[in-house]
Structure formats: structure tokens, C-alpha cells
Amino acid sequence: MLSAEKIDLLNFLREHPPFDQLPEDALEKAASNIDVAYFKAGSQIVELGQQLDAWHIVRSGSVEVFRRSGELYNRLSEGDYFGELSLLQNRPSRFPVTALEDCLVYLLPHAVFSEFFDQYETFSDVVEVEDRSRLRNSVSQREDANQLMTASVEVLLNQAAQSLPDTVTAHQAAIKMSETAASCLLITDIQSQICGIVTDTDLRDRLLTPGLPLDTPVTQIMSDKVFSVAHNQQVFEAMLLMLRHNVHHLPVLKQDAAIGIITLPDIIRYETQNSLFVVGSIFKAQSVDDLVALKADVRSSFVRMVREDANSRMIGGAMAVIGRSYKQRLLELAEEKLGPPPVDYCFVAMGSMAREEQLIVTDQDNALILSDDYQENLHSDYFEQLAKFVCDGLDACGYDYCKGGIMATNPKWRQPLDVWKKYFNHWIDKPKPESLLHANIFFDLQPVWGKAGYVKQLNQLIRYKAKQNTRFLACMARNALLRTPPLGFFREFVMEKDGKHTNSINIKRRGTGPLADIIRVHALAVGSETHNSFERLDDIIKSKILPNGRGEDLRDALELISIVRIKYQASDLEHEIEPDNNIEPEALSDFERKNLKDAFQIVSDAQKFLRFKYQPGRAN
């Protein structure tokens, strides 16, 4: 009869790679030979240059692995292992290891480790590359291979910044542009600060076409809203800025001084997917039918970005800008049809669009915040028609109706600002998991059109109140635990069992969705002002509310799971299959399968920490 200790050891081995693929007799041999060592927090487990005689597996607690220089190399916790390089090469350890907290470590003798490594290919395949390191390397290799991620806008500069004071005439500005062969001119105020920009298009459309005199002040034809980038920002950030604001010239600043201008053609050399042109086409569309006709161009843009190895943040950001542009043009068309709005309003985006993580398979989550001057008997018809026009148009353009009814067409989500404040006060002050289950999406809130200040007020209210309310955070955490990663007891994939998607994995519901939920809870807890999950993680890491290294793990997991989801949606489009969020494991390469398991394990660990940190049981 097996002892309780041996049963516990066997169960542990069966659950963790690389033992989970071994036959039962090998597990019995491992369990019979393993010794257990206890290390107090701060104690040395492996010295630099120590000759190891056993492979180390962390049973509980956590450890830190360092380089020879003393630089932190990795942090490991339950189920992780170390020392394999020394054993395989029969060399002294080059990586000292220290207990970060009190921990138990299983010691598998060198002879047994070598026997398993030589005899079982599944064991050696996993051991040869450390799980978390493999995932980190996979993500970093994608980023290193991508010019959009690594190139700064400074490398794009091919024209100096030309400027004139705001006292000149349009004619003087045109002469300066002609003399310097510049396509634009920066206008400066009395303090020599940039206050406007004039382009070739402005001269043509605002001066020559209306027949204004040449001595017209340049301030009358310039654009006074100037968007710029810092010299060390990345190309993809400049690309998103152009997409978001539909501009073709960006001053490049260094220490607040313009050192050059980058233009649309400069970006196009790097951004081969033509998303900029798609956005331009959206704003030129004269009808809903014109917008619907662009659906194929949007899909083509998505596929091209994937094939050019853009990362998930770039693709999600570009697709969110395209989706936002659709909404903005539909709202313009709606106002042309219905007339000017009777009171101010703000059309808002939520969910993946608000987080700038939108992909090609998406539904619409939106709402209307109305002025507090709104009177239902006088104004409801107008905004009901506006909401229907926009939501119907979005559906026709490929943004499906929200199955949960979270759209501006729902009167509940078409309310004055004061009502919206009451909604958020109620959700935060009197939280219930059930009421927050469908409301968590409202905590990703971004303005699309109209009075952006309304959304700013709501976001300020959320930041101020949410981080102070432990019960609210507990309720949000409990809901964030409802969607679990698709890993079974023996770290095998767990398949969906519903309808046409049987024996597949819904990678949004079981991967990116739970990750966004986890990150949102932590972001609310630290009062983050950002909405993008990657940017939220930056704030979360800085706050130090996570164990060391966990934030970076979450970032890698989010990138890996997202890019697999993106890749298979693009593959469906290329094969003329309607894309979805489901993936069949047999379609995955061995590389993808291993890395996805690593990433899903990180999600599982993050949910365990969420349960510990926010004690969702108090939400009951």
C-alpha cells in the first residue's frame, strides 16, 4: 500500500511536465528515487560553480535564478525546474539559485534524470528548453523580426522641418514651401511654439479653391490641431497616430523642438498593409453601401499585416482604428440624414475596440452618453434613429450585433451623463457578481464621437472609486475566474463540446478573454488610466502588486495566445472560410502546441493569484 507522501508525489508528477507524458512505471521509479529538500527564504539552493548530482523540481514556493554576473535570469514556482544544463553537459552550474520564499524542492538523481532523458523523447523535448524561457524567446523573436516594432521614427526622416511665424500670409507660406520643396510647413506662435500646420492640400482646398486673396493670413488656412511624435517613438506608434486621426504629416520632436517631418509615403514604406488607405476610403464613403463595399479591403489589410509578421498589439490597434473610423463615418452620415443633434452626446466604444485589441472576428459593443439637457419626450426619437442607423450600418459592415444587447439601440445604454454616473456608482458601491457579469465591459470605455469629456468624467469616477472598494474588486475577480484556460488535469487541451465547434478550443473565450479580465481587475486596483491590456500591464508591473516576473509572463502569454488566434483567422480568410475564434488542436504545429500550453498555464497561475489577492469569496 502506497504511503500518503508517495501518493501526493505521484499525483504531482502526473500533473506537471515533463513527467506528465511518462508511463506509470517510470513515474513509480521517479517517486521511489526522489528526495525532498526544504529551503528557507533567502537561502542559497545552488552555488555558482557547484557540481550538481540531482535535477531540481520546485514543489512549492518560488526561487530566483541568476546569471554569473548577478543579474536576475528567471523566477520559478511550483512545477518549474532547474539544473538540467549542468547535468546534461556534466559541468558545474553557471546559474546560482536562491529561495525567494520558503520552498520544497524535489531532487531527482542524476542517473535517473539521464535515463529518462535518453529513453523518453517526450521528456527530453520538454527539458531541452525551459517552458517560460521558450515562451519568452518565442515572443521576443517575433518582435525582433519586425521592423515596425524595432524601428524608431527617426530613421524615416527625409525632410527637415520648415517653419514660419503665424504673422505671415498664405502667399509667403507657399513661397517658403516651394523654395524648400516641402509638402508642409509648421506655423509657430510668438513663443516659437508650434501652433499650426499648413500642407499642400490646405493651400489647394482652403486658399485656391475658394478664391481667397494671396495675402490671406496663414492662420486662416492652417490646421491648428497638430499631432506629433517623439524622435524615439516606434514606427508603428506613428502609424497608429496617423490612422487614428486621419492625418498625413507628423512633426518629429526632440526636446520639444521639431527636427523633421514624416509623411504618409514614409509610413507606407514600412506599413505595407494599406490600413491607412482603408481608413481614408472609409472617410470618403458617401453611403452605407460604400462602407459595406470596403469589407473585403479591411479583411485584406488584416491578412497582409499577419503575413508581414506584425505583432498582436499593432494588428489590434490598427483594426480598432478601422472599426472606430467606421463608427465615426456612420455617425457623420446619420447626422447628415437626421440633421444636427438636439443636444450634445458622445458615442462610446467598449470592449476590444476600447482596448485597441480588435480583430477581424468581432461584434459591436457601444453606447450613447447624452447631455444632461436631454429630455426624453423631445429628444428620444432622434437618438433612437441615430443609434439604429449606426448599429445597423456596423452590422452590415461586418461588426455583428452584440448578442447581449450592449448597444446604443438598447434604451438602457442610451442615457444622460448623470444616469451613467449613477450606473457606475451603483456597480462600484453596491457590487454584485451577477450585475457585474455583463457590466465588466463598461470598464473599458473610450470616446468615438462627440463630447469626449463625458467619457473622461466617467473614467475619472471609475479610477477614484474602484481601487478603494475591496468588495467591488472581489466581485470583478470572481467573474474573471469564470472563464478558465483549456488545460486539463494532465495539462492536455480541454475541448469545447457544443455544436459545430465540438473538439476545438475557443481561443478567445478560453485565452484572450480571461487574460483581459485578469488584467482589467489589476488595472482597476492600481488606478491605471490606460485601456490597452499591454499598457495596463506596464502600470501593473510598476505598481509591484504582482510577484516578480508575473507581469512579464502575462505579457508574453497575451501576445502568444493573441497571435495564434490572429494567425488562424487570417488562414481562414485566405482559404475563403468564414473566420471564427475556434482552433482545432490537430491543426497546431508542435511549436504552437507547446507554447500555447505554456501560455495557458500562465493564465491558470494568474487566476490562482487573483483568487489569493482579491479573495473573491467575499463577493458572496
CATH number for domain 152-270, candidates 1.10.1200.10, 3.10.580.10, 2.30.33.40, 3.40.630.30: 3.10.580.10
Taking residues 300-326, report their average pLDDT: 87
Summary mean pLDDT of the chain:
87
Residue 124 sits at φ, ψ, to 5 deg, of -70, -35
Q: For position 240, what pLDDT does the model report?
A: 76
Q: For position 145, what pLDDT does the model report?
A: 46
pLDDT tops 90 at residue 271: no
Q: For position 273, what pLDDT does the model report?
A: 43
pLDDT tops 90 at residue 58: yes
Higher pLDDT, 592 or 262: 262
Residue 567, burial from CB neighbour count under 10 angstroms (0-12, 13-18, 19+): middle
pLDDT tops 60 at residue 490: no
Q: For position 66, what pLDDT does the model report?
A: 85
Residue 158 sits at φ, ψ, to 5 deg, of -135, 5
pLDDT tens-digit profile of 173-199? 999 999 998 889 999 999 889 999 999
| Conformation bin of residue 189: beta by default, left when phi > 0, alpha when psi is -120 to 50 | beta
Q: For position 487, what pLDDT does the model report?
A: 78
pLDDT tens-digit profile of 529-586? 999 999 999 999 999 999 888 999 999 999 999 999 999 999 999 888 999 999 888 8
Fold of 4-128: Jelly Rolls (2.60.120)
Q: How much of the chain, in percent, has pLDDT values that exceed 90?
A: 57
Q: Are 168 and 218 in contact (CB under 8 A)?
A: yes
Q: For position 435, what pLDDT does the model report?
A: 82
Q: For position 272, what pLDDT does the model report?
A: 42
The ranges assigned to domains in the chain are 4-128, 152-270, 275-426+442-454, 467-619
pLDDT tops 90 at residue 357: yes
pLDDT tens-digit profile of 272-302? 445 667 887 888 899 999 999 999 889 988 8
Q: Are 486 and 495 in contact (CB under 8 A)?
A: yes
User: At the fourth CATH level, which superfamily is domain 275-426+442-454?
Assistant: Beta Polymerase, domain 2 (3.30.460.10)
Q: For position 541, what pLDDT does the model report?
A: 95
Contacts of 471 (CB under 8 A, 6+ apart): 431, 618, 619
The helix/strand/coil state of 411 is helix
Higher pLDDT, 539 or 618: 539
pLDDT tops 80 at residue 204: yes
